């Protein structure tokens, strides 16, 4: 049962981010909410650096910050553990190497409460390694159902862009899929947006997404890259299942942005397969998921035009794509 005095639960998974987590935590407690109105659940996912000690020291001075620990099991398991302990009316997911702009969450939480929203999406700033800010540019929207919202807006697969009502997540038994090492956001977001009775988009940009060359997404290890590619395909398969379930249960077709996200995941799985030389394996994995051939990415996903159409046509000929992969790896 929700403790009505706690409006917001921040959920922060931590794995070897000793250099970044203190800035993240400092930004979270500087959002204009009274300490009694929020809690911060930090889940240490088996860190081997000093991350846990940093969090412990911070939590000792901030009683609203709580440290949970688990053996290394990945970001999805860490977020799920925190969800099982959360008490807030709303939840917000934050990556421990990112941070929030000061004082911006309090009015967003208030809007979510006042408008009885299941989901509130907001904007963000992308922070490049040199400190350059790249702001997102989505516009303000009034309250609508998730399906109506998606008819007018793109589906963006970043779970840290949302406030989500915790009771809504519990009613739908929403949790992250622990088998996915990347793109775990997309499947969950697809579900809670398609089915949200009340959602809105706010023009505020409280979240700062920091691009790191040493992040898991940029890990150049070939085995890790292959697992990332297969995880991306698996996420596309899950999204495809959510689409089919929704269309069967409602009799309505989903907006183009939803299959657009599925197609983006498949498109970039094939792109990465070319660069790492595992085209045949990836094609077989996509075929096993029942998703090959897949449609070209369209304007709903920002990859539209002659260039992308040509690349897609090449991808749909696996032997040619595998040959291009060999050429690419010879000349790079």
Residue 307: asked if its preceding bond is cis (omega within 30°), the reply is no
**Do 98 and 16 meet the contact criterion of CB atoms below 8 Å apart?**
no
Helix, strand, coil % over all residues of the chain, rounded to 5: 50, 15, 35
Residue 271 belongs to what domain range?
219-331
Q: With residue 165 as reference, give the H or E element that holds it.
A: strand 162-165
Give, as one character, the DSSP assignment of residue 114. Answer: H
Question: Considering the entire predicted model, what is its pTM?
Answer: 0.93
Which of the 8 DSSP states describes residue 216?
G
What band does 211 get if pLDDT is binned at 50, 70 and 90? confident
> Does 315 map to a domain?
yes
Single residue among 216, 247, 277 that ends a domain in this structure: 216
Q: Does 114 lie in the same domain as 28?
A: yes
Q: Are residues 94 and 185 in the same domain?
A: yes
The number of beta carbons lying within 10 Å of the beta carbon of residue 56 is 14
How many structural domains compose the chain? 2
Q: What is the per-residue pLDDT across 42-80, written as a single tens digit (0 to 9) for each?
A: 999 999 999 999 999 999 999 999 999 999 999 999 999
Asked if 108 contacts 202 with a C-beta cutoff of 8 angstroms, the reply is yes
DSSP secondary structure, 224-280, as one string: HHHHHHHHHHHHHHHHHHHHHHHHHHHS-PPPTHHHHHHHHHHHHHHHHHHHHT-HH
Distance CA 295, CA 258 (A): 13
User: Chain-wide mean pLDDT for the chain?
Assistant: 92
Specify if 3 maps to a domain: no
Domain presence at residue 290: yes
Picking from 153, 183, 216, the residue at the C-terminal end of a domain is: 216
Cβ atoms within 10 Å, residue 146: 23
Question: 28 and 158 share a domain?
Answer: yes
Which of 46, 30, 50 is CA-nearest to residue 38? 30
Q: CATH number, domain at 29?
A: 3.90.550.10
Element (H, E) at 322: helix 318-331
Asked if 80 and 97 sit in the same domain, the reply is: yes
The end-to-end CA distance of the chain, in Å, is 57
The sign of the torsion formed by the CA atoms of 31, 35, 39, 44 equals: positive
- The percent of residues above 90 in pLDDT, for the chain, comes to 83
For residue 1, tell me if it sits in a domain: no
- What does 71-90 look like in DSSP terms, one character per residue? SS--HHHHHHHHHHH--SSE
Q: Which of 183, 216, 249 is the last residue of a domain?
A: 216
**Is 190 inside any structural domain?**
yes
Q: Are residues 212 and 234 in the same domain?
A: no
pLDDT of residue 5: 85
**Quick one: which H or E segment has residue 127?**
strand 119-127
The two three-digit tokens of residue 19, written as one number: 């250099």
SS3 122: strand
Q: How confident is the model at residue 307 (pLDDT cuts 50, 70, 90)?
A: confident
Q: What is the DSSP code (8-state) at residue 332?
A: -
Assess whether 74 and 193 both reside in one domain: yes
Look at residue 131 and tell me whether its pLDDT is greater than 80: no
122 in the same domain as 260: no
pLDDT of 215-252, one tens digit each?
A: 555 556 778 889 999 999 999 999 999 999 999 999 99
Question: Mapping DSSP to helix (H, G, I), strand (E, B) and coil, where does residue 144 land?
Answer: strand
Cα gap 37→57, rounded to integer Å = 21
Instruction: Say yes or no: 187 and 231 in one domain.
Output: no
pLDDT at res. 1? 35
Residue 113, pLDDT > 80, answer yes
Same-domain status, 250 and 113: no
């Amino acid at each position: 049962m929700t403790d009505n005095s706690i409006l917001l639960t921040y959920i922060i998974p931590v794995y070897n981010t000793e250099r970044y987590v203190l800035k993240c935590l400092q930004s979270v407690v500087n959002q204009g909410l009274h300490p009694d109105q929020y809690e911060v659940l930090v889940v240490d996912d088996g860190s081997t650096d000093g991350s846990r000690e940093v969090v412990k020291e911070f939590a000792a001075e901030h009683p609203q910050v709580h440290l949970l620990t688990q053996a290394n099991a990945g970001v999805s398991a860490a977020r799920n553990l925190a969800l099982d302990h959360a008490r807030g009316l709303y939840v917000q997911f934050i990556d421990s190497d990112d941070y929030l702009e000061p004082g911006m969450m309090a009015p967003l939480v208030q809007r979510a409460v006042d408008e009885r929203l299941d989901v509130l999406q907001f904007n963000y700033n992308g922070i490049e390694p040199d400190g350059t800010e790249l702001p997102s540019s989505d516009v303000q929207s009034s309250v609508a159902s998730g399906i109506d919202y998606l008819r007018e807006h793109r589906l963006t697969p970043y779970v840290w862009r949302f406030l989500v009502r915790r009771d809504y997540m519990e009613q739908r038994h929403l949790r992250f899929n622990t088998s996915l090492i990347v793109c775990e956001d997309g499947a969950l977001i697809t579900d809670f947006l398609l089915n949200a009775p009340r959602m809105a988009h706010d023009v505020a940009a409280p979240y700062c997404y920091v691009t790191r060359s040493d992040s898991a997404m940029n890990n150049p290890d070939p085995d890790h890259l292959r697992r990332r590619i297969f995880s991306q395909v698996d996420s596309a398969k899950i999204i495809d299942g959510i689409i089919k379930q929704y269309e069967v249960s409602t009799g309505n077709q989903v907006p183009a942005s939803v299959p657009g996200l599925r197609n983006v995941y498949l498109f970039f799985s094939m792109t990465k397969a070319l660069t790492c030389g595992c085209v045949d394996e990836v094609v077989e994995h996509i075929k096993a998921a029942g998703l090959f051939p897949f449609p070209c990415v369209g304007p709903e996903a920002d990859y539209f035009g002659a260039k992308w159409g040509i690349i897609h046509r090449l991808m749909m000929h696996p032997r040619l794509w595998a040959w291009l992969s060999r050429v690419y790896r010879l000349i790079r």
